Amino acid sequence: MSRKRTYLKAAKNGMFITGTVLFLTVLLVAVFADRIAPHKYDEMNIEKAFIPPGRAYLFGTDEFGRCLFSRIIYGSRIALKIGLMVVAIQISVGVSVGLLAGYFGGKLDMILSFITDLTWAMPPVVLSLAIVTVLGPSLERVVVSTALVSWPGCARMVRSKTQSIKNMPFVEAARALGESDLSIIVRYILPNTLGIVIVLTTLQLPGAILSTTGLSFLGLGSQPPSPDWGLILSEGVNYVSKAPWISIFPGLALIYTAVGFNLMGEGLRDILDPRT
């Protein structure tokens, strides 16, 4: 495989470059949050509550006079952590279940598909509630419980794709050459499902961040004064007529990250596909 050609394609792919730039800024902001932010995320100053965005406070302040800009900067760490954790679990579980069920078929497929459907039927909120009630509220627990029910979509897509690929002549040829099942899955089927996996992942990352937001809103996930974007957004809802900026800025940050990740994924899919 010509690595040079891949780089060349990446350099020419506008979507990929834009997406990467957006995503990298989020990453850099997260890494250097304490250098960039002018204030600590939980630094309160009641006298300066509800200051609109301006020169002193770039994004304004909230009801406790906390600097919203600093809070959003720090919040990027949480957003990335949530997103990457959910996506990592989702892909590893979803892709392996999909490949195994699709490739081997028969009884294994029946069992795995049953588990997949069962998991699909599980409402994430209820699962999170159960986990949090037993173990106490924490962002990590909410993230893991969200991830544990988010893989069935991925598993189903990979399964059906696997089923269609495994009967193609090039897979038959591989079997006739004496490739093992593992080798066929890894070398022939997985690379050909990569496209949908990447797209699915990039579409789900913003969803993952948002769904944990909802749980944080219910008091199950991040606890105040955490600068979780979802938490800031939901707290801001109470003051939306008086100080709309409290909800607007975390929303914009979320959109920025989501768009960046989506563009990067779409671009990546095109770059990795030799047919384009």
Partner 1 sequence: MEALVELERVKKHFVIRDGILGRRRRFVHAVDDVSLSIVRGETFGIVGESGSGKTTIARIIPRLVNVTSGSVKFSGIDICRASGRELMLARRRMGIVFQDPASSLNPRVTVAASIQRPLQLAGLPAKEARDRVREVAELVNLGTEVLDKFPHELSGGQQQRASIARAIVLRPEFVILDEPTSALDVSVQAQVLNLLLDLQQRFSLTYLFISHNLPVVRYLCDRIAVMYLGKLVELASTGVLYREPLHPYSLALLMAAPPPDPKMRNRRRFILTGDPPSLTNPPQGCRLHPRCQFAVERCRVEEPELRDYGSGHLAACHRIGDLDLGFAM
Give the span between the Cα atoms of 75 and 177, in whole angstroms.
53
Give the span between the Cα atoms of 225 and 205, in whole angstroms.
24
Beta carbon nearer to partner 1, 46 or 182: 182
Per CB under 8 A, the list member of 192, 217, 225, 259 interacting with partner 1 is: 192
Those residues with Cβ within 8 angstroms of residue 190's Cβ, 6 or more apart along the chain or in another chain: 95, 99
**At closest approach, how far in Å is the CB of 19 from partner 1?**
23
Site string for partner 1, 113-152 (x = CB under 8 A): ----------------------------------------
Helix (H, G, I), strand (E, B) or coil at 42: coil
Q: Is 2 in the site for partner 1 (CB under 8 A)?
A: yes
Q: Is 9 in the site for partner 1 (CB under 8 A)?
A: no
Question: Near partner 1 by CB under 8 A, which window of 57-65, 145-153, 162-170, 217-225?
Answer: 162-170
Beta carbon nearer to partner 1, 56 or 110: 110
**At closest approach, how far in Å is the CB of 172 from partner 1?**
6
- Are 66 and 39 in contact by the 8 Å Cβ rule? The answer is yes
- Are 79 and 254 in contact by the 8 Å Cβ rule? The answer is yes
**At closest approach, how far in Å is the CB of 90 from partner 1?**
23
Count the residues of the shown chain that bind partner 1, applying the rule CB under 8 A.
19
Which phi and psi angles does 67 have, rounded to 5°? -70, 115
Cβ neighbour number for residue 14 with a 10 Å cutoff: 9
Q: Measure CA of the first residue to CA of the last residue in the chain; give whole Å.
A: 15
Question: Near partner 1 by CB under 8 A, which window of 32-40, 175-183, 211-219, 223-231?
Answer: 175-183
Those residues with Cβ within 8 angstroms of residue 2's Cβ, 6 or more apart along the chain or in another chain: none
Give the interface with partner 1 as residue ranges (CB under 8 A).
1-2, 168-170, 172-179, 187-188, 191-192, 274-275
